Structure 1
Amino acid sequence: MRAKFRVLNPLGISVAVALVLVWQLLVSTQVIRLTYLPSPWAVVLAFGELDGLAENLAHTLLVALVAFVAAMVIGMVLGLAVGLLTPVRTFGLASLDVLRTVPVVALMPVALLIWGPSPQTEIIVATYSAAWPIVVSVSGGVRAIHRQLREVARTLRLGRGEEVAKIVIPATVPSVLVGARLALTTALVIAIVAEMLVNPQGLGWSLVQAQSALQPAQMWAYVIVIGVVSLLANALLVAVVDRFVPGGQKTSRGGL
C-alpha cells in the first residue's frame, strides 16, 4: 500500500489539479486574454471532437513499440561489442560518439529523401535515436562487471560465448533495464516528432492538423493524450525496473 501511495504522489497530483483550477479561473475571469489559450473545460469538451483518435493512437504506439524492440536488439549487440572488444573501443568509439551527438531531427530530411513519407521512415529514425541509451548503458554495464566474476568464468573454463551468456549478460541486466526506460520514451517522442515532420499519420500529425485548423482546444487535447501515453510508458518501465533490478527503485528514479 505504501509503494502505491508513493507512485501516486498525492502532493504532486494536488499541485497539478490546483494549477488546472487556477488556469480555468484566469481564463474564465478574462485575466488572461490569449486567443489560442482555451480553458481546461473547453479542452475537456474537445476530447469528444477528436476524429480517429484510437486509430492515430494505435499507429503511434505501434511505431514506438517496433522501434523500441529494434533499438533493444541493436543496442544490446553494439553495447556488448563496445564493452567486450578492445578493437571496437579503440577504432570505433570516437565515431559512435559523433553519431550519438547528431540530433535526430537534423537527420529526418535525409531519411525522408531516402525512404519517403512512410511508417518505415518513422521506425528507422525512432530506432536510431532510441538505440543510443541502450548502447551507453550496456557498454557501461559490461565494463563495470566486477573482476571476480571474470575470474569465476576462467576458473570454470568457460568459452567466450558461454562467458557472455552466463556471466556478462546477467550482470548487465540492471543497466539494460535502466537504458530501456530511456529508450522507450525516446522512441515514443521521436515517433511523434517524425509524424509532425515526415509522415502525416498518428498523434503527431493530428496535433499539427489541429494547430493548422486553428483549433486550440483540440490541439491541447492531443497534447494531453501524448503526455498521458508518455507517462504510462515511463511508469511501465519504472515498474519493470523496480521488479527485476535489486534496489531498482533508486536506480530507476534517480537523476532522470
Structure 2
Amino acid sequence: MLLAAFEWYARRAAALGSDALAPPSAAARAFVAAALDGSLWQATAFTLGTAALGLLLGAVLGIGGGIVLGLSRRAADLGLLSIEVLRPVPSVALIPLAMLMFGFGVRMELAIVAFATFWPMLILVQAAVRQVDPRLLEVSRVLGLSRRDRAFKIVLPAIVPRLFVALRLGVAVALVVAVTVEIAANPNGMGYAMMIAQQSFDPALMLAWLGWIGIVGYAINAAMQRLQRRVARRMGASP
C-alpha cells in the first residue's frame, strides 16, 4: 500500500517537472542494472568487508578491555575518566584525523568503525562480567586458575548470551558508521555510490542504493539473531 502510494506520488511529481524523486518501479530497474553491471556487488563487498574488519578489531579490544575492567575494580576506577571523556566523541568527528593518518581507503574507514564499535562492546561486556555469579569466580580462585584461564574458562562462557547482545549492537553500529564514512569522505562502498547517484541527479539509483542498504542491514541482523538462538540451544538455553 505504501509503495503504491509512493509510486503514484513520485510519478505525479515527475509529471510536474520535479527530478528529486523517482517511483519505486524506476528504483527497481536501477537496482537490476547495478546488479547486472557488477557495481552493486563491488560496493557492497567493500562496505561489508571494511565494516566486518572494523567490528572485529573493535570487538577484540572491547571484549578484552571489558573483561579486564569487569574483573578488576581498580582498573575500572583508573580507566573511568578516560572512558567517559573519549566515549561521547562522535566517530565521524574523527574523519579529518583519520584522513591525515591513513589517507583515503580501507584503513581510514577501518579505524573509524573500530573506534565506534569499541565503546559499546567495552561497556556492555564490562557490565556483563560484573553480573557473573561471584561463586564461579570464587571457585576459580580455589582451583588456582590463572587470570587468563579464569577469563577464558569461567567468564567468557558465563557472558555468552549478553555478549551476543553486544555483538548485535556492534554489527548495526559498524554498518551505519561505514556507510556514513563513505558518504562523507571515502570514495568507495555503498555510501559513496549513493552519494554519487544523488550528485548525478539520478534519484532512481539513489533510492535503489538506499533500499539495498536497508535490506543488507536487515539480513545481517536476522543472521545474528539466528546465530544467537543456535548458540543458546547448544548451551542448553530454551529457544
TM-score by length of 2: 0.89
Contact 1:196 1:205 in 2 (8 A): yes
User: Structure 1 CA distance, aligned partners of 2:238 and 2:218?
Assistant: 18
Please report how far the alpha carbon of residue 196 of structure 1 lies from its aligned counterpart in structure 2 after TM superposition: 1.4
* Residue pairs, 1:1-256, within 5 angstroms: 18-28=1-11, 35-50=19-34, 52-245=39-232
**Cα deviations by residue, 1:71-107 (Å, 9 ceiling, x for unpaired):** 2211111111111122221111221122111111111
- For the Cα contact (< 8 Å) 2:47–2:190, is it kept in 1? yes
Is the 8 Å Cα contact of residues 49 and 218 (structure 1) preserved in structure 2? no
Contact 1:126 1:190 in 2 (8 A): yes
Distance in structure 2 (CA, Å) of the matches to 1:134 and 1:247: 23
Deviation at 1:161, TM superposition (A): 2.7
Tell me which amino acid in the other structure corresponds to 2:42: E
Secondary structure, aligned partner of 1:101: coil
CA–CA distance in structure 1, aligned partners of residues 129 and 44 of structure 2: 37
Distance in structure 1 (CA, Å) of the matches to 2:163 and 2:224:
11
Q: Deviations over 1:35-80 (max 9, x none)?
A: 3121111111111343511111111111011112112211111111
Deviation (angstroms), 1:29: 5.1
The answer to whether the 8 Å contact 1:241/1:248 transfers is no
Counterpart-to-counterpart distance in 1, 2:186 and 2:13 = 38
Alpha-carbon contact 2:190-2:213 (below 8 Å) kept: yes
Give the drift of 1:237.
1.0
Distance 1:119 1:224, change over 3 A: same
One-letter amino acid of the structure 1 residue matched with residue 22 of structure 2:
P
Using the alignment, how far apart are the partners of 1:138 and 1:131 within structure 2? 11
- The separation in 2 between residues aligned to 1:175 and 1:167, in whole angstroms, is 14
* Alpha-carbon distance between aligned partners in 1 of 2:229 and 2:189, rounded to the nearest angstrom: 31
SS at match of 2:178: helix
Superimposed CA distance per residue, residues 109-135 of structure 1 (whole angstroms, 9 cap, x where no aligned partner):
111122111210000100110122211
Q: 1:32 to 1:83 in 2, by over 3 A?
A: farther
Deviation, 1:165, is 2.0
Counterpart amino acid of 1:221?
A: A
Worse-superposed segment, 143-152 or 238-247: 238-247
Structure-2 separation of matches of 1:30 and 1:216: 12
Equivalent position SS for 2:159: helix
- Look up the SS of the partner of 2:104 in the other structure: coil
Residues 1:60 and 1:85: Cα distance change in structure 2 (over 3 Å): same
Q: CA deviation at 1:155?
A: 3.6
Q: CA RMSD in A?
A: 2.0
Q: 1:42 to 1:88 in 2, by over 3 A?
A: same
Q: State the SS of the aligned residue for 1:199.
A: coil
- Give me the whole-angstrom Cα distance separating, in 1, the residues matched to 2:238 and 2:125: 16
- Could you tell me how far apart the structure 2 residues matched to 1:199 and 1:157 are? 50
